[in-house]
């Protein structure tokens, strides 16, 4: 009870010192600047992290919706039927699709020898294993005829073709029975690389029917891809890869960018936090006689330190609290803010041709908010220590001029 009373009394004195109407206006201005700086730093950092989280999730969903979670590659001592049997025995695997992948050159009436990556598939298996059928923007994904093909939007534009047009494959490897094909559908995966290079055709037009380049696997939980891939190798000696490996560089780059942005924006918080040193130091000078009176009536130096430390924490908590609210408001309304900025400055901040997004994605996570608050509080406490120590070192007789 005595400890609670002491803390409450110290907090009351800290509040009175900080918000006293007798404070110099200059000190008050610096305190307000510190609060505003902390608010802006915390708010912007939370907003940037939430937007980057949103972009990362959008990119991951697009990649996982278009490609496979796990790939199985041919094995000299394991037949296709045996691999299918192994796949069906795994409860975590939802579906599979056999893929024959070739690098080919295709031509249209307008363009010759355009490089593409051709996938010979079963349309039914591919529909179950990826979300490509949901990405069709023209035509459909039913490869009913052996010469039907599906191409990406960028590829269609580059070749100047549309639904029903004919294209020809160089077929220098003699892998296709018929090298004149008809465009049955056009997809938009949301990823420029896939839209520009990938195309799909009916596997019945592929000559070496018993061979496959790899088998796509779709899992119940894509985040378990590494474990399942490792288990297939350890238990059945299957050669595998998974999306965390094939796209590791991309997602590692995104994480590195998040770390760099976090560090850079934390510097803004640090600058605002260190303004507390200035405001509290000036407050100590302004309150020397008050400090001397408190010490002369029996307050210990440690109590004086705690009072000024609380003042810094009060400033910090105000700035951080307002910053969290600002960050949440900016994150929730980021799409409207971007749209408004684009209208004002007549620029495109989020180009739909590049990002394939109709709005700015954002994901606010508790862990990001906790991390930002923790670092901001740490910087605030560090900034408050020096003025608090300085306040407790003055002797009452020096301050009172006795």
What does the mean pLDDT of the chain come to? 81
Task: Find how far residue 92's CA is from the centre of its chain.
Answer: 26
CA-only gyration radius of the chain, Å: 32
* 148-152/136-139 β-pairing: unpaired
Q: Examine the domain organization and report whether 26 and 126 are in the same domain.
A: no
Domains in the chain, number: 2
pLDDT of 216: 93
- 180 found inside a domain: yes
Q: Copy the structure tokens of residue 384.
A: 């408050």
Q: Examine the domain organization and report whether 392 and 314 are in the same domain.
A: yes
Q: Examine the domain organization and report whether 195 and 277 are in the same domain.
A: no
Q: Copy the structure tokens of residue 109.
A: 């009436």
Q: Return all residues near 12 (Cβ < 8 A) that are at least 6 apart.
A: none
On the question of pLDDT at 27 being above 60, the answer is: no
The CA-to-CA distance between both ends of the chain, in Å, stands at 37
Residue 185, sorted as left (phi over 0), alpha (psi -120 to 50) or beta, turns out to be beta
Q: Copy the structure tokens of residue 74.
A: 């041919």
Range of the domain at 348: 2-61+250-400
pLDDT of 343: 75
Determine the Cα angle at 277 with ends 276 and 282, to 5°: 100
pLDDT of 61: 83
pLDDT of 297: 64
Whole-angstrom distance, CA of residue 284 vs CA of residue 90: 70
- Whole-number percent of the chain with pLDDT over 70: 80
Burial class (CB in 10 A: 0-12, 13-18, 19+), 127: middle
Placement of tokens 């490089």 in the chain: 115
The pLDDT of 162-167, averaged and rounded, is 92
Mean pLDDT is lowest, of 147-151, 313-317, 350-354, for 350-354
Closest CA to 381 of 240, 249, 273: 273
pLDDT of 132: 87
pLDDT of 5: 46
Final residue of a domain: which of 219, 234, 262?
219
pLDDT of 144: 87
pLDDT of 244: 83
Q: Copy the structure tokens of residue 219.
A: 């899992």
On the question of pLDDT at 159 being above 60, the answer is: yes
Q: Copy the structure tokens of residue 97.
A: 């699709």
The pLDDT of 97-105, averaged and rounded, is 91
The pLDDT of 40-50, averaged and rounded, is 90
On the question of pLDDT at 262 being above 70, the answer is: yes
Top-confidence residue, 292 or 156: 156
On the question of pLDDT at 232 being above 60, the answer is: yes
What values do phi and psi take at 45, rounded to 5?
Answer: -65, -45
On the question of pLDDT at 16 being above 70, the answer is: no
DSSP 90-104: -TTEEEEEEEEEEEE
Final residue of a domain: which of 200, 219, 238?
219
Per-residue confidence band for 302, with pLDDT thresholds at 50, 70 and 90:
low
On the question of pLDDT at 402 being above 50, the answer is: no
On the question of pLDDT at 46 being above 60, the answer is: yes
- 353 found inside a domain: yes
Closest CA to 217 of 121, 118, 130, 101: 130
Whole-angstrom distance, CA of residue 324 vs CA of residue 366: 11
Q: Examine the domain organization and report whether 108 and 151 are in the same domain.
A: yes
Q: Examine the domain organization and report whether 214 and 275 are in the same domain.
A: no
DSSP 256-323: HHHHHHHHHHHHHHHHHHHHHHHHHHHHHHHTHHHHHHHHHTT--HHHHHHHHHHHHHHHHHHHHHHH
Whole-angstrom distance, CA of residue 14 vs CA of residue 386: 16
Q: Examine the domain organization and report whether 324 and 367 are in the same domain.
A: yes
Q: Examine the domain organization and report whether 176 and 280 are in the same domain.
A: no
Q: Are 363 and 53 in contact (CB under 8 A)?
A: yes
On the question of pLDDT at 185 being above 90, the answer is: yes
């Amino acid at each position: 009870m005595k400890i609670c009373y002491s803390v409450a009394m110290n907090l009351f004195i800290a509040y009175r010192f900080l918000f006293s109407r007798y404070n110099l206006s200059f000190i008050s201005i610096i305190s307000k600047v510190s609060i505003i700086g902390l608010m802006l730093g915390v708010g912007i950092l939370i907003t940037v992290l939430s937007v980057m989280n949103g972009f990362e999730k959008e990119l991951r969903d697009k990649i996982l919706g278009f490609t496979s979670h796990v790939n199985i590659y041919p094995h000299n001592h394991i037949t296709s039927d045996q691999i299918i049997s192994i796949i069906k025995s795994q409860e975590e695997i939802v579906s599979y699709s056999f893929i024959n992948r070739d690098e080919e050159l295709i031509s249209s009436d307008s363009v010759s020898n355009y490089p593409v990556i051709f996938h010979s598939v079963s349309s039914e298996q591919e529909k179950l294993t990826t979300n490509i059928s949901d990405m069709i923007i023209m035509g459909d994904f039913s490869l009913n005829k052996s010469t039907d093909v599906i191409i990406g939007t960028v590829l269609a534009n580059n070749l100047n073709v549309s639904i029903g047009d004919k294209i020809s494959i160089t077929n220098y490897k003699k892998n296709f029975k018929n090298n004149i094909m008809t465009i049955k559908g056009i997809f938009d995966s949301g990823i420029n690389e896939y839209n520009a290079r990938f195309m799909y055709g009916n596997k019945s037009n592929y000559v070496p029917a018993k061979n496959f380049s790899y088998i796509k696997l779709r899992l119940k939980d894509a985040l378990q891809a590494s474990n399942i891939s490792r288990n297939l190798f350890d238990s059945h000696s299957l050669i595998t890869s998974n999306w965390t490996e094939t796209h590791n560089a991309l997602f590692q780059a995104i994480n590195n960018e998040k770390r760099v942005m976090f560090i850079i924006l934390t510097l803004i918080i640090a600058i605002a936090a260190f303004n507390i040193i200035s405001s509290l130091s000036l407050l100590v000078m302004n309150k020397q006689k008050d400090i001397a009176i408190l010490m002369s009536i029996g307050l210990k130096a440690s109590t004086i330190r705690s009072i000024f430390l609380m003042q810094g924490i009060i400033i910090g908590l105000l700035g951080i609290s307002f910053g969290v609210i600002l960050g949440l408001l900016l994150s929730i309304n980021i799409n409207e803010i971007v749209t408004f900025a684009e209208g004002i400055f007549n620029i495109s901040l989020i180009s739909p041709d590049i990002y394939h997004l109709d709005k700015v994605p954002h994901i606010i996570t508790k862990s990001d908010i906790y991390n930002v608050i923790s670092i901001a509080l740490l910087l605030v406490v560090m900034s408050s220590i020096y003025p608090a120590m300085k306040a407790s070192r003055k002797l009452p007789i020096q301050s009172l001029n006795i």
